[in-house]
Amino acid sequence: MNWRRLMTESDDQFRKRTDECSATPVRRILLGYAANLLGKHSLTHVFISFVLDLLSQETRAVVASIIVPEHERAEAANKGKSAGKKPVRRRQPAALRKMLRKLAESSSCADLAEVRTAAGPGRHVEHSDFLEYVVSCAAELPRLTHSRLATRDVEELLTRAVALELRSQASGSAGAHSEQLDDLKRTFGLCDEALAIVCFLFCYRQSSSFEDLSDSHRAGEYIRLLAVATGVSISRVRRHLGSRGRLEQVGLIERRLGHLGAGFELEEDVVYYLAGLSSGSLAQRYCRADSEPTFALDTFGVPGRQAEVVTALLRSKRPCHILLHGEAGTGKTEFARSVAAAAGLGACFVKEGEKGVASDRKLELHAAVSAVSQDTGLLIMDEADTLLNTEGGHIFGGRVDKGWVNDFMDRSGCAIIWIVNELSAAPPSVRRRFDYSLEFKPFTRRQRAAIWQEVAAESPLKAEITPAMIRELSA
């Protein structure tokens, strides 16, 4: 069994699972993390495994050609120690210096033939997983008494190998960011530091070796790992991941309570989007333009003066918040659509996710706001109970801090109609922020008849619908 062939399987699987299948360049990002961490992270088994997993077949073969023979030589020397042999002085051999220099000079993985020749021919190794064997050798070398490779030598070897991979990646790529990352940054108003943290959390979900590395660190160590890998200071990382940070405020991340390693998780829909598993922009995913026919405003039983006030507010072209509340089935949603049409605005609905919990609604709302034109658009936030009833978390499916609601309403920058069935748990500070509030009471029999008559008038079966049928439907 040729050991070079043994090492190709993991590399090919990794590429297939990341850069070739993902819209976000995971491997390039992880190589950057490895470059930042080398020399600052201890050479643990899980860390070396992470680094080697990123290397191409050619580069990994060179690393193994240096590591494995040296490990075998050191082990043999240790076994002969009891025979009274003189210890070998720890120094960097000439062959290693030559191969490291060649690694530094190579511009691509294809330039490594000479290095492999200098390292010696491939060998047959009886081991079920040679990559795991190389990782073990690299982790043990600095601790072996007779090894000429100290920790700094192994770090230099891995650093040169990662640098070579980065040069090869740069020659065939315009950069480390994808269209999805740019769209994410634009949609949620993220700074570069926050976007870097999002990339880190996304890569955690895409690479098993990187996941193992992250989970091997406890909370405080994990923050430092994230900071060193991304180049963002520890204090800034803590600020971005805090409850008042932008990432949690827009619902991009959620906390994983009781987890020893990565205490934060990227929202599932965002992971799918960055992986290229969903089409269109994020704003389109969470926002649906209304194109259905609407009803006349006088069919809803809303006093004419109140309907005029709502219409005037929407026509003013300034950001405003209008609240429609009342029992289900009282026409709130249809009124919102109709008043938008009367004001000459294009209505867009915030789509509700499958779970419908408060954290998801925050993400949906922020994404939808970015898709609505401030001059000609109107956002309709239907089923907003989980967001506005901040004092009833257990009743309304998750609790949202009222401070978040207040801050969002103050900064939204567009016209929004909020629709809820229940308002009993909405605090006064939230209610005061609405420019106008309109309560919908159950329809009377006359109002139901008027609605049915208007529906019948638009139906292709209107000739078959009799007044008696209207009275029966309205009872």
**CA–CA distance, 71 with 4 (Å, rounded to integer):** 17
Look at residues 113, 119, 124 and name the one whose alpha carbon lies nearest to residue 65. 119
Burial category of 291 from C-beta neighbours within 10 Å (exposed 0-12, middle 13-18, buried 19 and up) = exposed
Report how far apart the first and last C-alpha atoms of the chain are (Å, whole number): 83
**CA–CA distance, 192 with 159 (Å, rounded to integer):** 26
**CA–CA distance, 169 with 176 (Å, rounded to integer):** 9
Token digits of residue 191:
């700074």
Look at residues 37, 28, 11 and name the one whose alpha carbon lies nearest to residue 171. 28
Strand partners, 348: 289, 379
Taking only the tens of pLDDT, the chain with its 475 residues reads 233 333 343 444 434 444 444 556 888 899 999 999 999 999 898 999 999 889 887 788 778 877 877 777 777 777 665 555 555 444 444 555 555 555 555 555 555 444 444 444 444 333 335 667 777 778 887 777 656 677 888 888 899 889 988 887 765 444 445 788 888 998 899 999 999 999 999 999 999 999 999 999 887 899 999 999 999 999 999 999 988 899 988 889 887 765 555 578 898 888 988 888 877 787 778 888 888 888 888 878 788 899 999 999 999 888 999 999 998 888 899 999 999 999 999 999 998 765 556 667 888 888 888 888 777 789 999 988 888 888 755 444 456 778 888 888 998 888 999 999 988 888 999 999 999 999 998 877 887 787 788 788 878 887 788 888 888 888 7
Check the CA dihedral 110-58-65-123 and report its sign.
negative
| Cβ–Cβ < 8 Å for 137, 68 | yes
Residue type, position 207, single letter? S
| Cβ–Cβ < 8 Å for 141, 90 | no
**CA–CA distance, 351 with 299 (Å, rounded to integer):** 26
- What SS3 string covers the chain? CEHHHHCHHHHHHHHHHCCCCCCCCHHHHHHHHHHHHECCECCCHHHHHHHHHHCCHHHHHHHHHHHHHHHHHHHHHHHCHHHCCCCCCCCCCHHHHHHHHHHHHCCCHHHHHHHHHHHCCCCECCCCCHHHHHHHHHHHHHHCCCCCCCHHHHHHHHHHHHHHHHHHHHHCCCCCCCHHHHHHHHHHCCCHHHHHHHHHHHHHHHCHHHHHHHHCCCHHHHHHHHHHHHCCCHHHHHHHHCCCCHHHHCCCEEECCCCCCCCEEECHHHHHHHCCCCCCCHHHHHEEECCCCCCCHHHCCCCHHHHHHHHHHHHCCCCCEEEEEECCCCCHHHHHHHHHHHCCCEEEEECCCCCCCHHHHHHHHHHHHCCCCCCCEEEEECCCHHHHCCCCCCCCCCCCCHHHHHHHHHHCCCCEEEEECCCCCCCHHHHCCCCEEEEECCCCHHHHHHHHHHHHHHCCCHHHCCHHHHHHHHC
Amino acid 100: pLDDT: 52
Amino acid 228: pLDDT: 97
Question: What angle do helix axes 26-37 and 151-171 make, rounded to 10 degrees?
Answer: 150
**CA–CA distance, 63 with 163 (Å, rounded to integer):** 13
